[in-house]
């Protein structure tokens, strides 16, 4: 599990709520809220 505002590292993250995915391509990137539903909970994809 990862939450927005964290820096969980490179990789694909999938919104727990709606399934939208996003990629972080740098270890210093901050996980944003979901672009679709604005929720804050993700799992590693």
Tell me if 34 contacts Zn ion by CB under 5 A. yes
With contacts defined by CB under 5 A, name the span among 3-11, 21-29, 37-45 that binds Zn ion: 37-45
Q: Would you say 31 or 34 has its CB closer to Zn ion? A: 34
**6: which DSSP letter?**
S
For Zn ion, the binding residue among 3, 10, 12, 36 (CB under 5 A) is: 36
Q: CB-based contacts of 32: which residues, under 8 Å, 6+ apart?
A: 4, 22
- CA dihedral over 33, 38, 41, 45, signed as positive or negative: negative
For Zn ion, the binding residue among 20, 29, 32, 33 (CB under 5 A) is: 20
């Amino acid at each position: 599990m990862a939450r927005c505002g964290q820096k969980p590292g490179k990789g694909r993250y999938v919104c727990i709520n709606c399934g939208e995915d996003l990629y972080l391509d740098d270890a210093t990137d901050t996980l944003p809220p979901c672009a679709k539903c604005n929720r804050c909970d993700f799992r590693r994809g």
